[in-house]
A and B are shown apart, each in its own frame.
Chain A
Amino acid sequence: MVTGATAIILALAVPSVGAALIACAHRAPNLRETVTLVTATILFAVVASIAPEVLAGARPQARLLEVMPGLEIAFTVEPLGMLFALVATSLWIVTSLYSIGYMRGNHESHQTRYYACFALSLASAVGIAFAGNLFTLFLFYEALTLITYPLVTHHGTDEARRAGRLYIGMLVGTSIVFLLVAIIWTWTVAGTIEFEAGGILRGKTSNTTIGGLLALYIFGIGKAAVMPIHRWLPAAMVAPTPVSALLHAVAVVKAGVFTVVKVVVYVFGVDAIAGLKSVDWLPFIAGFTIIAASIVALRSDNLKRRLAYSTISQLSYVVFAAALLTPLSVMGAALHIAAHAFGKITLFFAAGSIYTAAHKTQVSELDGIGRRMPWTMGAFAVGSLSMIGLPPAVGFVSKWYILSGAMASEQWGAVAVLVAGTLLSAGYLLPIVYRAFFVRAAAAGAAHEAHGEAPLSIVVALSVSALATVALFLFPDTLLALSRQLAGTG
């Protein structure tokens, strides 16, 4: 029996060792891809082995070393981290499968570097998920930015280099200038940076300082892509699609909103700051991002760009839900981290599948493509339902809780934002499904004759993620249990 502490260390070690093995196997692509898949599977098994303990109410801990007096690299698995780690590691398996088809199908170069960096970024994501204090979280947060840089700039073109600049500049910039200062400030005010249920800043400082600190955290956590710190995300879409899928729908951006929720719950304390005047600006910022990003998505013809802005909008749902500061909405925030991950990765997979098989990138080119690629577009439809928040997709569950939270606390403005966001997301996703299945390919129809479905591994991967989206709607027990524990409503 592996104990919690060992499992935590293993969860960090497995992908790191996997990366090394991948690098060693660079001359044997089949072996390399096998290593990736095996590593991903083992990692998921290790992470999943911690889940029963956490569900039973335990908080497994592991302490690595004390870097400075009072600053430790330490890990504690609590419900939110458990949820994030489960989501990221389970989707890594699917993404690895997908990557094999995509990278080979598109004859991408530097595949060894790609798989190795991917493994390392998963190690960083797990480090973020399990971080027991702000310092550890910051360490892995920065590591994740740096290790994904080679993935974002994978193609090495001028466009990739510019996107990379924006990516590194905004993410490292905000994290150093705002987040780091916020962490050190928290440390000097609270005397600790360990995450604690109920919040470590409770009763330690004035309301004005709380407001200032919250602003530093929200804008310092650039990965959450709250406007105006969102530009890096669409720019990063220059990366190969699997990168966009796992990192910019799951690991990186979710690390951002995960950190926001974690900070709100464990640093500030939900009920400690509920109703404070100095923090009531947050729902406005998040609400604005939801609406504004949706409108941009609505107007984008490029499919990946549309999905990127949809991601920005959906991320702000999480921030928005956390900012409502009610137990139900916090639950919704946690659920939405998982729900959006499964739905959005399906959408990205579909976008990449279309690109691989049909070399199409624009929404306007997709007329009738559903007949050629029924699996891909079927999965896309399921993902869209989840984004909008309709049953039978898991997006419905999280929206339900966020809405319940808003209604229970009679925040009618918030309800209006949620409804508007839902309508807008229907507006930018459903037309794609409609075009694909119901509009006949016009003059350009001949082009469709040249292709069928994407390679098998791609189709399998996106079907699995679409199925998971539905399955989580039908069997949301684990997700609900974890998020209940987080919100203290269980």
Chain B
Amino acid sequence: MITQLPILQVVIPLIAAPLMVLLRHGTAAWLLAVGVSWASLAIALGLLSEVAGGGLVSYALGSWPPPWGIEYRVDSVNAYLAVIVSMVAAVVVVYMRRSVAEEVPQEHHYLFYSMYALCLAGLLGIALTGDGFNMFVFFEISSLATYVLIALGRDRRALMAAYQYLIMGTIGATFFVIGVGLLYLMTGTLNLADMAARLPDVTDPRPVLAALAFITVGVSLKLALFPLHLWLPNAYAYAPSAVTAFLAATATKVSVYVLLRFYFSVFGETAVFRALPTGSILLALSLAAVFVASVVAIFQGNVKRMFAYSSVAQIGYITLGVSFDSATGLTAGIVHLFNHALTKGALFLLLGGIALRAAAMRFDDLRGMGRLMPLTSFGIVLGGLSLIGVPGTVGFVSKWYLVVAALEQGAWWIAFLVVAGSLLALAYVWRFVEAAYFHAPDPKMAAGPGEAPLSMLVPAWLMIAACVYFGLDTGLTLGGAGEAAQVLLKGKW
């Protein structure tokens, strides 16, 4: 059974998706989705414990031994990622029931859950597969499902946002597959570990460089690295609340993983960071992401969009950690992957509660929310503090490591920029605080229902509680990230 875990991780949600379509029943599909998500979490945790301490699990699909067949290759890096994805899924799926019931037409419910299962399968597939082309396939599976999920948003602009994302996402995927194709051309293999072993023997470096460029740009589109982030704000703002929370916490994180995997495990740290100015480029773009996106966030009129821009900035912090190309920097980036997934997932879940009342999500609609929905509002404040990086929250842990990583390299000006970015976060988080707590509620709103339903509040607060818990007890998150960083820097997969 243990040996089958890697494939079960992917196949269970993959099979559940068509089953849901056959069921044609919203509630049944939801129950199935809950089962699938929780099973995924159990499997991911099983895998993580299996590979803890530098272990490696290799699974040959259809018993075709690698490098001929497709291999699923799990080490502590992607096991950690699978845990993040399935953990978020396990929480969000509980929340979905009420939120989707409010935001998506009844007749589409089973399709919604089916798409959600597909998306989950795709994301987990990307995480676990050790095969370049298979990775592309899962990219497409998750992306196509995502386009549909976004388009199901009740705002008509959701259609446009989904279309925008479709165009950008397709360009990204195409770039990615071109890159993988070039690598296949030069090495004759699609198995990533095998590819890494053969790359040093390639005599003509130009196609390999081109492959690196294509993959970098393609994946950067997917992970919304500034300035390739333009699809993200609209997609997050207009998608159904549960979808935004799920995507914000998982999709971009998985793409970051792909970038890390290719940089460190396929091309190798030397080729990417020593021979090329990748580090400096990444550094510049990351800092630009932090500042430009944060400033834009401050001036948004729509709360969801504001936090979407904040996501772009926070992704900047993740890639900033990567750009240092050091153990500390990589640890900072990877731990922020987890921390930001938690924080932003929680925030979007809570915003979903507000969306029940004020669909437009404009700041004006938030007046008096502190009184109308005290738990939701206070949760958002706590999540916001984590974005700022106040000690006692997960955001602080990430920031601490980023600053240490910067100072290690003697780059004190980067250290200052990192913390200065927090001030911008303070500015946009405080807009929420002032809107929610300094105005009397609109009488129209006050007449509406009170707090968000428990089935939404409990999952959201679970994640907020985790934001604080993992801000104080970092053994698991930081330990996992540190180990992942070590594995990546070792180079061999």
Contacts and interface: CB of A to CB of B under 8 A. Distances in A.
B434 A139 contact: no
A168 B416 CA distance: 19
B491 interface: no
Interface string B360-402: 0000000000000000000000000100111110000101110
Interface residues of A, number: 28
A187 B407 CA distance: 10
Contacts of A188: 404, 407-408
Contacts of A187: 404
Nearest to A160: B438
A117 B451 CA distance: 23
A177 B423 contact: yes
Nearest to B471: A67
A184 B416 CA distance: 11
Chain A interface main SS type: helix
Contacts of A177: 416, 419-420, 422-423
A191 interface: no
A184 B423 contact: no
B423 A176 contact: yes
Nearest to B392: A139
A161 B473 CA distance: 34
Contact of B388 (A65, A67, A138, A172): A172
Interface in B410-442: 412, 415-416, 419-420, 422-423, 426-427, 430, 434, 437-438
A185 interface: yes
A397 to B, nearest CB: 36
B350 interface: no
Contacts of A71: 400
A184 B403 contact: yes
Contacts of B400: 68, 71, 184
B434 A161 contact: yes
A185 B430 contact: no
Contacts of B473: 65, 67
B472 interface: yes
A176 B419 contact: yes
A215 to B, nearest CB: 13
Contact of A135 (B391, B399, B407): B391
A68 B403 CA distance: 14
Nearest to A71: B400
A184 B388 contact: no
B474 interface: yes
A165 interface: yes
A196 interface: no
B430 A168 contact: yes
A181 B434 CA distance: 28
Q: Which of A73, A165, A176 has the most CB of B within 10 A?
A: A176
B416 A172 contact: no
Contact of A165 (B388, B408, B430): B430
Contact of B385 (A69, A146, A165, A181): A146
B423 A173 contact: yes
Given A161-B438, A169-B426, A142 B403 contact: no
Given A65-B473, A68-B474, A165-B430, A176 B404 contact: no
Contacts of B392: 139, 142-143
Nearest to B434: A161
A488 interface: no
Contact of A185 (B385, B391, B407, B474): B407
Contacts of A173: 423, 426
A180 interface: yes
Nearest to B408: A188
B407 A184 contact: yes
Interface in A28-46: none
A23 to B, nearest CB: 12
B423 A181 contact: no
A180 B438 contact: no
Q: Which of A73, A138, A139, A143 has the most CB of B within 10 A?
A: A139
Contact of A176 (B397, B422, B438, B474): B422
Given A184-B403, A184-B404, A142 B426 contact: no
A173 B397 CA distance: 18
A181 B404 CA distance: 9
Nearest to A68: B474
A181 B417 CA distance: 11
A431 interface: no
A168 B419 contact: no
A165 B408 CA distance: 34
A156 interface: yes
Interface in A111-154: 135, 138-139, 142-143, 146, 153
A384 to B, nearest CB: 37
Interface string B79-93: 000000000000000
A181 B416 contact: yes
Interface string A389-424: 000000000000000000000000000000000000
B430 A138 contact: no
A187 B415 CA distance: 14
Interface of A: 65, 67-69, 71, 73, 135, 138-139, 142-143, 146, 153, 156, 161, 165, 168-169, 172-173, 176-177, 180-181, 184-185, 187-188
Interface of B: 385, 388-392, 397, 399-401, 403-404, 407-408, 412, 415-416, 419-420, 422-423, 426-427, 430, 434, 437-438, 471-474, 478
23 contacts: A67-B474, A68-B474, A135-B391, A139-B391, A142-B390, A146-B390, A156-B438, A161-B434, A161-B438, A169-B427, A172-B390, A172-B426, A173-B423, A176-B419, A176-B426, A177-B423, A180-B403, A181-B412, A184-B403, A185-B407, A187-B404, A188-B407, A188-B408
Given A67-B473, A168-B426, A169-B427, 19 more contacts: A68-B397, A142-B390, A156-B438, A169-B423, A169-B426, A172-B423, A172-B426, A173-B423, A176-B388, A176-B419, A176-B422, A177-B422, A177-B423, A181-B412, A181-B419, A184-B403, A184-B404, A184-B407, A185-B415
